Amino acid sequence: MKTKSRNRLALLTTAIAIPALIVGIALPMQASASTGSSLSAAVSSHAEITLPLATSGGKIIDADGDTVVLQGVNWFGMETATHAPHGLWSRDYKDMLQQISSLGFNVVRIPFSLQALRSTSTSSIDFGGGRNAALQGKTPLQVLDEIIAEAGRRGLMVILDNHSQADDGFSYDLWYGQDGYTEADWIDTWQLLANRYGKVNNVVGYDLKNEPHGRATWGTGGPSDWRLAAERAGRAVLAKDADALILVEGIEAPVASGSLDRNWWGGNLEGVRTNPVRLGVPGQVVYSPHEYGPGVFAQPWFSSPDMASILADRWHKGFGYINATGIAPVLVGEFGAKSVTTDTVEGRWITQFTDYLAASGTSWTFWSWNPNSGDTGGVLKDDWRTVHTDKVALLTALMSGRTSIPTASPTSTPTPKASPSATSSNGLTGRILVDSQWPTGACLRLSVTNQSATAKAVAELSFDLPGGAVTSIWNGSASRTGDQVKITTPNWAKAEAGSTYSDTGVCISGSRVPAALTVNGLPSASPTTSATATPTPTLTPTPTPSATATPTVSPSPSATPAIPPSTSALSATLITDSTWETGSCLTLAVTNASSASVANWSANFTLASGTRISQSWSGELAVTEGRAQVTAPSWGGSIPAGGTVRHFGFCLTGAGLPHDATARALV
């Protein structure tokens, strides 16, 4: 049953009630705080959204059933000793919210501490010259009332985030135990907020706990089981605000039967596969991981030559499968970077990640609006007024729906092809790899292999594209002369000796895929093509084009690719991660029971009649006459003695499950 009035954004809300005592928490009182405030004029640039929101499968929807992608910023400070969002020492809160709205964002995530909401005072707010007049003399909770009301007038939705129990306590791992706060205190606070804002239309979601980590577990059943705590708090919130979206973050630690051994704080949601959050009613839970780059911590994958592949694999396994398979929507509550240009690792990470968000239709809130985040900086510069134009350009492109993988019809599975290779006079061989293709376009990776003994710069790539156009590009810029398209790559692009560069790619319109790739504008030898140059086994690309493994070329179009002889016995098990009426997703586990490590492996399994693989990740796949062959990803071939790896995963369409899985070591 809907409890909030059904309004569009423009929003109208009832008065914000301020009881003196709710669920056991005593609050400082004043005569009124935003009583009678109306949330009226929406920003014309915002899409019309009918509130309240709910969920349907992997999407957030509005009251009309239309898909909504939440796209916003984090404005922090209320979780610190100031007890108010930061920057109000420099400018008026109305001006701040107007700027957020004018840039096209539709939601603001506001962190708070339990301590702040129990306080009677704020600090570091400038009241000179009439600035922030509505906040003067108000308690922190009443300041929050005013900010929420003004956000609504600016057409902005609000997500409240419990960032910590004590002020400035973001590094504490659990939702109880900090400075004497209990789980009951935490749940009571959420009930207070849900009761207070339950009829305020633009308060759309409650992020229960920021970044559970350390001792937090998932599915263990103990006091530190975050999944069970989220259920208790979520149900308590819904008892006061039945229309709320309940945002549940992940944990840091690995989970039972999971494959990720290290994660960001709040970033691991693998546990949802087997232990989803149960709120007693459908349509209200949204999972909310956090994801960061090397500016926050130098995770090992940022120094790997296979960074793009590893990232795509991690994103899908850690949280992407949740909305991809229709379990629930995902909203990435925090991601951000100081550098967003692709001449840095951090910039390449965030470019790939924003492409991933756009392609998957995932909601997000960028960390942060504030410039005073030590890890990432913010949208604003240190003057609290001027924006970083490169960050705004990145986020504007994301909001406009830039994507590296157009959504193809779910009934079509593209068959990857490789263009004939051409070796230039400096030892570089160019190939065009088809990641995905549909009747009116394709997405391509531009692959350059260096056959020489020294590293080579990859400065320029070109191909002919008669009758077509480049619709998107990553890690490069495009120009055109007649039918020829020239791609200028970033200054960091190079192919190491004996290795391949494939970080640049394009999506094109038109029914024809370019035939050949020229590298650095140098003369190329005549392409050599044989009858076996075009692979026929189906290979489904990973969710982002930069992360898709190079297709394995079949030596014979009618036979399963040959497998080198085995040197030790391996076993393979297919783990069913999720099933639904018309499909399923599975993980392939390969176990080495011998006393010696294995350097590389391959596995096979048989598909059930009437099923096909619709997507796969972290491995090379070929399917011939219903028998699938998997080759380990370049970064995941090693299996220690007695160890098990769970790299390769896939989703199926059709009702049956695969069977007869086997594995062998390769020499």
Q: Identify whether residues 379 and 439 lie together within a single domain.
A: no
User: How many CA atoms within 13 Å lie on the side-chain side of 9?
Assistant: 32
Q: Identify whether residues 336 and 484 lie together within a single domain.
A: no
For residue 410, is it within any domain?
Answer: no
Q: Which of 399, 433, 466 is the last residue of a domain?
A: 399
Q: Which of 345, 364, 399 is the last residue of a domain?
A: 399
Q: Residue 580's pLDDT band (boundaries 50, 70, 90)?
A: low
Q: Identify whether residues 395 and 434 lie together within a single domain.
A: no
Q: Is 620 a catalytic residue?
A: no
Q: Residue 268's pLDDT band (boundaries 50, 70, 90)?
A: very high
Structural domain containing residue 648: 569-665
What is the pLDDT of the chain when averaged over all its residues? 81
* pLDDT tens digits, 636-645: 788 888 888 8
d(CA 201, CA 208): 19
Q: Say which of 79, 146, 150, 211 is annotated catalytic.
A: 211
Q: Identify whether residues 222 and 294 lie together within a single domain.
A: yes
Q: Identify whether residues 243 and 337 lie together within a single domain.
A: yes
- The domain total for the chain is 3
Q: Say which of 146, 334, 346, 620 is annotated catalytic.
A: 334
Q: Identify whether residues 515 and 586 lie together within a single domain.
A: no
Q: Residue 491's pLDDT band (boundaries 50, 70, 90)?
A: confident
For residue 412, is it within any domain?
Answer: no
Runs of H (alpha helix) within 216-344: 226-240, 307-315, 321-324
Q: What is the DSSP letter of 392?
A: H
End-to-end CA gap in the chain: 62
User: Is the pLDDT higher at 476 or at 299?
Assistant: 299
For residue 37, is it within any domain?
Answer: no
Q: Identify whether residues 602 and 481 lie together within a single domain.
A: no
CATH of the domain at 166: 3.20.20.80
Query: Inter-axis angle of helices 93-102 and 140-153, to 10 degrees?
Result: 40
CATH of the domain at 469: 2.60.40.290
* pLDDT tens digits, 382-423: 999 999 999 999 999 999 875 433 222 333 333 333 444 444
Q: What is the pTM of this model?
A: 0.61
Q: Identify whether residues 487 and 351 lie together within a single domain.
A: no
Q: Which of 537, 561, 586 is the last residue of a domain?
A: 537
Q: What integer pLDDT is reported at residue 403 of this predicted model? A: 40
Residue 77 burial by CB count (10 A; 0-12/13-18/19+): exposed, middle or buried? buried
Q: Identify whether residues 509 and 583 lie together within a single domain.
A: no
The answer, yes or no, to whether residue 565 has pLDDT greater than 70, is no
Q: Residue 448's pLDDT band (boundaries 50, 70, 90)?
A: confident
For residue 404, is it within any domain?
Answer: no
For residue 34, is it within any domain?
Answer: no
Confirm if 611 and 652 have CB atoms less than 8 A apart.
yes
Q: Identify whether residues 65 and 214 lie together within a single domain.
A: yes
Q: Is 211 a catalytic residue?
A: yes
Q: What is the DSSP letter of 197?
A: H
Q: Identify whether residues 324 and 430 lie together within a single domain.
A: no
Instruction: Return the residue matching tokens 């702040």.
Output: 116
Q: Residue 6's pLDDT band (boundaries 50, 70, 90)?
A: low
Q: Identify whether residues 90 and 162 lie together within a single domain.
A: yes
The answer, yes or no, to whether residue 550 has pLDDT greater than 50, is no
For residue 147, is it within any domain?
Answer: yes
For residue 218, is it within any domain?
Answer: yes
For residue 637, is it within any domain?
Answer: yes
d(CA 390, CA 379): 9
